[in-house]
Amino acid sequence: MLILIAFWACALIATANTAKEYQRCLMMLQQNSYRSERYRRWLRQSADSTSVTRLVGMAVFLVAMVTWSTTDWSMAMMMLFGLLNVVALSRVKYKKPLVWTARVKRLYGVMAALSAALIAAAVLIFGNSGALDRLFAATVAVTGLYCASHMVTLAALALLAPVEKRINRRFTDDARRILRSMPDLKIIGITGSYGKTSTKHYLQRILSESFDTLMTPGSFNTPLGVVRTVREHLKPYNEVFIVEMGAKNIGDIKEICDIVNPSIGIVTAVGEQHLESFKTIENVQRTKFELIDALPADGLAVVNDDFPFAANRPVDNVEVVRYAIRDTAGATVTARDITYDSRGTSFTIAGPDWEMRLHTHLVGECNISNLMAAVVTARHLGVPDEKIRIAVDHIEQVEHRLNLKRTPGGITIIDDAFNSNPTGSAMALDVLASMTGGQRIIITPGMIELGDRQEELNRAFGRKIAECADTVIVVGHYNRDAILEGIAEGSMAQERVMMADTFSEAQAMLTSMAKAGDTVLYENDLPDTFK
C-alpha cells in the first residue's frame, strides 16, 4: 500500500512539473506574439531546449526508459527532478508573467489533451502488469513530455491555427463594422522604429484640448491589439482615434491600415531595429512607409527627415510635411533655439509661414522630435496655438522612455528602460553626458533584435558608454562581451566597469556606490525571452 502511495506521489509531482513547464512555454509563446517562427527563433537564441535543466530532465527520462520497470530508483529520480524543478520555476519572477487569455486557455487545453492521449497510450502499451507498472509508465511519459514541451506547444499552436484564424476574422470584421459606423472619426496612424509610443502620448495630450480622443493603450500596436481597442474602448462620441502601429515583418503595418484606414500617417523614425526579422534597413523602410502608402489622396503624411531612410523615401501620393532638428535641408518644419533649464526644455518650432516658442518638462532631442510630429499634426487638425502651448507645457514624461526622476536622496534617475535601439541609446547617453556635479552611472544589458549587426552595434554602444559615463554596470551575458570590447576601446578605467547577472544584483551594486548628486541611466531592460 505504501509503495502504491509513493508511486502516486511521484506521478503527481512529475505531472505538476510538466504542467508548470507548459505554462512557461506558453508565456514565451505569448511574448513572441503567438508566432511559431518567433518562438523557434527564441529557442535558437536562448538555447532553452539544451539548457542544463532540460538536459538533466532528458537524462532522467532516458534512464527511466532504459530501466523500463517499476523500480524504486527510477521513480525516485523522476520525482526528485520534478520536485526540484517545480520549486525552481515557482521562485522565478517574470516581468511579463503569463496572461490567461481565452487563447492561452485554448492552447493549454489542447496541450493537455495531447498529453493525456500520449500518457494513455504509454499506459496501454507498457502498463499491463498491474497498478505500479501503469503508474511507472505514466510517470515516464509525463517526464518525456516535459522534455518535449516546446514541441507540444508548437503542435497545439498548429492544431488551433484554423480556429484562431476564424476567431480573429470575426473580431476583425466586427472592428471594421464599428469603424464604418463612425465616418467622421479622424484616424491617425503612428509608426516608426522608435518614438512612436511617446509621440502617441504627446499627440493625445495636445489633441485632447480640442477633441475627444482615444489612443491605443500600452503595447496594443498589433492588428489584434488594434481590433481589441476598437471593440472594447472606442465610443460613438470619440472624435479622434490615434493608432500606434508596430511591426516586425513586412506587411504588418499594411495589415493594420487595412483595418482602420487612417487619414493621417506619422513616421517617427526609420532605423536599425528588429533586424533579426527584417534583415535589412531597406525592409524596415518599406514596412514603415506602408502607412504612408495607405493614406487617401486628401490625407497627410508627417515624416521625420532626421533619419536618412525616411528622408530619402519619396512621398507623392499625399501631402507631406517633413520635420527635422539636425538634417533640415529638405524639411518644411524645423526646431531651433533649443535651451535647457531646471524646468526642462525651451525651443522654437518653425514652419514655412509660422513659428511657435514652446516649453516642456521633457528632456532630450528625441523628445523634442516627437513633440514636433505631434504639434504639426495638431495644427493640421485646427488646434489653436495657445492650446498647443498649454498642452506641451503640461505633458508628462512617458514611463520608462527617457523619464527623468529625482530620488529623496538627491540621485537623478534617467529611466530609459523601454529603449532598445542604437539611435535612442546614443541620445540617452548624450543626456547622461550633459549631467554635471556627480558621478554618471549607466546600467544596461545592451540592445537586442539587431540581426547580424547586433555584436557590431553593441560594441559601438560600449564605445559611446566610455565617452559619456563614469561607471557602467553591464547586466546579463547576452551582449556582455560586445559591450565590454567597445568600452575597452574607450578611455574608461577598468575599475569603473562592473558586471551583474541580474538587475537586482546591479541594483545592489548601485545602492553601495551612488551618492547625492549622481545621475543613473537605466538603458533598456531585456524581456524574459532574452534571459
Is the fold of 184-394 the same as that of 403-530? no
pLDDT at 341: 66
- According to DSSP, the residues that pair with 473 across neighbouring strands are 443, 498
* Cβ neighbours for 318, distance < 8 A, ≥ 6 positions apart: 292, 295, 296, 297, 298, 299, 300, 301
Describe the strand order of the beta sheet including 440-444 as a list of residue ranges.
403-406, 412-416, 519-523, 440-444, 471-475, 497-500
pLDDT at 96: 80
The angle formed by the CA atoms of residues 103, 448 and 310, to the nearest 5 degrees, is 95
- Choosing among 3.60.20.10, 3.90.1150.10, 3.40.1190.10, 3.30.930.10, the CATH entry for 184-394 is 3.40.1190.10
Handedness of CA 199, 200, 205, 210 (dihedral sign): positive
CA distance 169 to 175: 10
CA distance 147 to 464: 43
CA distance 358 to 200: 19
pLDDT at 9: 84
Name the one residue in this structure whose C-alpha cell is 527627415: 305
With contact defined as beta carbons under 8 Å apart, do 373 and 304 qualify? yes
With contact defined as beta carbons under 8 Å apart, do 415 and 523 qualify? no
Amino acid, res. 92: V
* Cβ neighbours for 73, distance < 8 A, ≥ 6 positions apart: 67
Distance, first Cα to last Cα, the chain:
44
CB atoms within 10 A of CB 274: 23
Burial of 102 per CB tally in 10 Å (0-12, 13-18, 19+): exposed
What are the cell numbers at 422? 542604437
87: left (phi over 0), alpha (psi -120 to 50) or beta: alpha
CATH class of 403-530: alpha beta
pLDDT in tens, the chain (531 residues): 777 788 788 889 999 999 999 999 999 999 888 989 889 988 887 778 878 888 888 888 887 776 765 677 788 888 888 888 888 888 888 778 898 999 999 999 999 999 999 999 988 887 677 777 888 888 889 999 999 999 999 999 999 999 999 999 999 999 999 999 999 999 999 999 888 999 999 999 999 999 999 999 977 889 989 999 999 999 999 999 999 999 888 899 999 999 999 999 999 999 877 666 778 889 999 999 999 999 999 999 999 999 999 999 999 999 999 999 988 888 999 999 998 765 778 999 999 999 999 999 888 788 899 999 999 999 999 999 999 999 999 998 776 667 777 788 888 888 887 766 787 788 888 888 887 778 899 999 888 777 778 888 889 888 999 998 989 999 988 788 888 898 988 878 888 889 988 888 888 898 888 888 889 988 887 655 445
Element containing residue 462 per DSSP (H, E): helix 454-468
Counting other chains too, the contacts that 51-60 makes at CB distance below 8 Å and 24 or more residues apart are: 53/85, 53/88, 54/147, 56/81, 57/81, 57/85, 57/143, 57/146, 57/147, 58/147, 60/143
- Domain spans, the chain: 2-161, 184-394, 403-530
CA distance 27 to 100: 9
CA distance 350 to 107: 53
CA distance 383 to 186: 14
What are the cell numbers at 276? 533579426
CA distance 464 to 487: 8
Q: Which of 393, 394, 396, 392 is nearest to 405 (CA)?
A: 396
CA distance 356 to 388: 9
The gap from C-alpha 336 to its chain's centroid, in whole angstroms, comes to: 33
Q: Is residue 445 helix, strand or coil? A: coil
Q: Is residue 465 helix, strand or coil? A: helix
pLDDT at 347: 95
Q: What is the pTM of this model?
A: 0.77
Name the one residue in this structure whose C-alpha cell is 523601454: 418
